[in-house]
Structure formats: C-alpha cells, structure tokens
Amino acid sequence: MEPALRRAQARLEPDAAEMRRMVDAAMSRIIDHIGSLPHQPAGPTRPPAEAARAVRGAIPEEGRDLETLLDLVFDKAVPESFNSAGPGYLAYIPGGGLFHSAVADLVADAINRYTGVWQAAPALVQLEADALDWMCTMVGYDVGGTPRPGGILTSGGSIANLVAIVTARRARLPEDFLHGVLYASDQTHHSVAKAAVLAGFPARNVRSVPTDDRFRMDLEALRGMVAEDRTAGRAPFFVVGNAGSTNTGAVDDLGGIGRFAREEGLWYHIDAAYGGFFLLTERGKERLRGTEAADSVTLDPHKGLFLPFGTGALVVKDRDDLVRAHAVDADYLPSQPAEGEFADFSTMSPELSRPYRGLGLWLPLQALGVSTFRTALDEKLDLAQVVFTGIQKLPHIEVLAAPQLSVTAFRLRPPGLDDEALDRLNERFLAAVNRRQRVYLSGTRLHGRFALRVCILTHRTHLERVEMCLEDLQGAAEEVLGAITV
C-alpha cells in the first residue's frame, strides 16, 4: 500500500488508544469549561467582527495536532460569545446544554446508525418514538387513541413551525393554495411568518392579530379578520396560538382559540417552543390549559428541557397528516413499516438522512426522570416571581409584563421624558446592566416601547444569580437615572 494511503487510512480510523486520547483531551477541556461557566463574563467582551477576524484561517492541506485545535476552540473562539450555557444568561430564550445530551450526541455520532428510515434501525427509532409519545401525552393527546398522534424531532422551533404550516396547507387547502390565509398575533415568533413565506404564501397572507395589554391575542379581532377574509373570497385555514411568547412569555387563550378554530374549520397550531415544557408543572398545566385542542404543537427541548441547541419537535394530533404532507415513494428505499404501531421519520418529515437526535432527548429523560425536569421548571417559575417582586423595588420602574411563565419585561419611566427619550434611557439601562457582566439581558419593543426583559430558563440559573441580577439592575438604574438629573 502506498505510504500516503496508509497514512490517510490510519488518520481516518484512529485505534482504541488514540480514540481514548482524543476524548480525554476534549473532556479535560470540557470539564474545565463547564466548571468555569459561573465565573465567565455573561456577555461578549469585544466587538464581534474583531472576534471573528482573530480566528479566521484557511483549511490546511496537512492535518494539525488535535491539542492545538482544541486550544484554539476553547481559548480563542468559545470565550468570544454570549455565555449562553451559563447561569447569567437571561436574554432571548435561554437554552442550557445538558451534559447527558452531550454524551448521547457523542454516542449517536460515533455509532452513526441510520435513523431516517425505520427498517434501518427500528429499535433506535423506537427510543426516539417513545420520547415523542411522551411529548404527545404531555400536550394532552391520547397516544392509544384514534387518530394516532405522533411527531418528529427537528433542528428547532423554526423548522417545527415550517413543518406545521406545510402539513396544514396539505390538509386544508387545494394544490392551488395562494388564497390561503394564516393568523398569528403581533407577539408570535417571526419564524411563523418566515415559515409561511417558505411554504409558498405571499407575506401579505399572514395576518397580524392585535394583542391586549397582557400581550394575548384579541379573539374578537381574530373573529373580525377571519370574517372579513371570507367575505373577500379568501380562504382562512391556519391560526397559531402562543403558549409562551418570546417577548413576554404571554399565553393566549388556548382553549378559546381552539373553539374558534373548530367552528371555522381552521388548522390550530400552538407555538409552545418556549413555554411548552412548563406543562410538566402544576402551575404550567393550569396556565397552558387547552393545548390538547391543537392540531399541532411546536416544542423546543433545547429550551424547556435544557438540551444543547439543535433539538426541536413538532407533535400532531393525527400522525397521518404528517405522512400525507411528506410521504413520497422511491424504488430504492426499503418498504415502510406495515404496522401502524411504528413510525418512519422519512415519511413524516422533510428529512431523509438526519442526525440521531432522539438519543439526546431519550437518554436524559431516562437517566434523570421526568420529576427532575418538573422540579427544575418549578424553580424557574419561582425565580420569575423573585424577579417580579424585586424589580418593583427599583426607582421609577414600570413593569410592562408580569410573568405569565418565566419572563418579566419592564422599563425605567422617570417623569418628564417623552417616548423617544425613554427609549434611549432604557437602551442605556440595558447596556449598563450588561456591562457588569454578571447577567446578560436582551431588550425588545412592546407595543412600540423599548423594554428590558429577564427570561429565566436554564438549569444553571438559581436564586443566587437572580439576586445578582437584581443588584445589577439597581446599580444600573441609579447610574442612568443619576446621569439624567445631573
């Protein structure tokens, strides 16, 4: 054998000692990294373009030493980011990065079995199907009933929303579907409007339904919009309810929208990407009443179950709706499971080849048990109340959204400033909190006003960090308010 080929083969297939050395090298850095999360700056420390340019490099012709590469990743690239796995990340919608899932992903990638097609790995597919059945049951579907509920794992909530719209379009509209109209509140995540366009609808077919002072969909307005579209000869077919909006965690009247959707023959989708897993708690179950009425529900295990980014889910009341929207035959594929008992993900989703996401979900659920997640999510609801109570003690504070789940939104509102000046003041307030680097918050606009928000979701955020957050809000408020009175 040619020396170059022998060398290439040896590099492509490390022996047992080399595999162990590689994993050990990565693992010692991972353990140090995870241990240091609470002490790392909560946000970025230099301009993003500078950070990106500092690591830019060409792909080499010859391989480089693994240790050097891991050093580059851990020392130069990782520190230049939001500390999104750390306890102080209270911005946007936090994720987490459960270590059990990381172990599962290593296993899944190393075994590299084919889970796109049921026949290729029926037992591995079954583990994923079990996790999906558990989520179906959580939203209130009867997995033993008719129709048979089911679902798929996706890369995240955006793709789950896209699959929901495509599935609804196939179920409710003819092939010529351009007169179909979709309804979402003005608080619905932008991935729904994006998905509608990707699914072939003109952007103008997505109606933005106004919300009340708690950011919940105005059902009367929805009713009026649907009636108006019908009168104009258009075809209302899809409505989405928020089970925890991104901006404020607002929960729509899920039961009320469900009843209206049924009367009108609309496909009812619930976006529970952020809020869905609070269904595991008693308080969440109460606040999210009505999910069982939905034809489809988006859930994001990489949010509410603390998984690493890359696992979302869509569950549907009737699994056959997914199949009708996605199944396309090909001569070279093995036959589908004959028994309705089993699921073949290639016939239910846009993907054929796919990562084995199921293990990253199934393994932590099995290893930790549902009660672990329930307890942790209950803690997040408690912490949101601590934030809510603490924030009200700040000077000149206006709470714009009390927590319906685990988001609180607010702004400073000293007297004598117009809307424009208030927005600028609150942008400075946000910057002053984040400059302290113990927590990282994000801002948004709520019914036109710039607001700060605190969103608590990761398994690493506990009371101690929330107290730091309140201290930094106090310090930052004094700083920016002091500057305007000078």
Ligand X SMILES: Cc1ncc(COP(=O)(O)O)c(C=O)c1O
Binding site residues, ligand X, CB under 6 A: 93, 156-158, 189, 191, 246, 271, 273-274, 300, 312
- Which residue shows structure tokens 């929960």? 251
Q: Angle at Cα 302 formed by Cα 182 and Cα 99, nearest 5°?
A: 175
Return the structure tokens found at 363: 């393994």
CA distance 378 to 286: 13
Q: Compute the least distance from the CB of residue 6 to ligand X, in Å.
A: 44
Of 150 and 301, the one with the shorter C-beta distance to ligand X is 301
Q: Compute the least distance from the CB of residue 42 to ligand X, in Å.
A: 19
CA distance 38 to 270: 34
CA distance 185 to 217: 5
Q: Compute the least distance from the CB of residue 170 to ligand X, in Å.
A: 21
Position 169, amino acid: R
Q: Compute the least distance from the CB of residue 163 to ligand X, in Å.
A: 12
Of 441 and 480, the one with the shorter C-beta distance to ligand X is 441
Would you say 90 and 469 are in contact if contact means Cβ atoms under 8 Å apart?
yes
Of 148 and 302, the one with the shorter C-beta distance to ligand X is 302
Of 191 and 205, the one with the shorter C-beta distance to ligand X is 191
Q: Compute the least distance from the CB of residue 437 to ligand X, in Å.
A: 23
Cite the beta strand spans of 293-427 per DSSP E: 296-299, 312-316, 397-401, 407-412
Q: Compute the least distance from the CB of residue 69 to ligand X, in Å.
A: 28
Q: To 10 degrees, the CA torsion angle through 8, 12, 14, 19?
A: 150
Q: Compute the least distance from the CB of residue 422 to ligand X, in Å.
A: 26
Of 191 and 347, the one with the shorter C-beta distance to ligand X is 191
Of 191 and 281, the one with the shorter C-beta distance to ligand X is 191
Of 124 and 153, the one with the shorter C-beta distance to ligand X is 153
Per DSSP, what are the bridge partners of residue 67? none
Q: Show the DSSP H helices in 186-326 as ranges.
A: 190-198, 219-231, 254-264, 282-287, 301-304, 319-326
Q: Compute the least distance from the CB of residue 118 to ligand X, in Å.
A: 26
CA distance 228 to 375: 46
CA distance 359 to 132: 12
CA distance 419 to 131: 48
Q: Compute the least distance from the CB of residue 164 to ligand X, in Å.
A: 11
Q: Which has the closest alpha carbon to 154: 297, 312, 306, 307?
A: 312
Of 83 and 191, the one with the shorter C-beta distance to ligand X is 191
Of 105 and 271, the one with the shorter C-beta distance to ligand X is 271
Of 270 and 430, the one with the shorter C-beta distance to ligand X is 270
Element (H, E) at 235: strand 235-242
CA distance 285 to 280: 7
CA distance 300 to 305: 8
Q: Compute the least distance from the CB of residue 156 to ligand X, in Å.
A: 3
Sign of CA dihedral 458, 464, 467, 468: negative
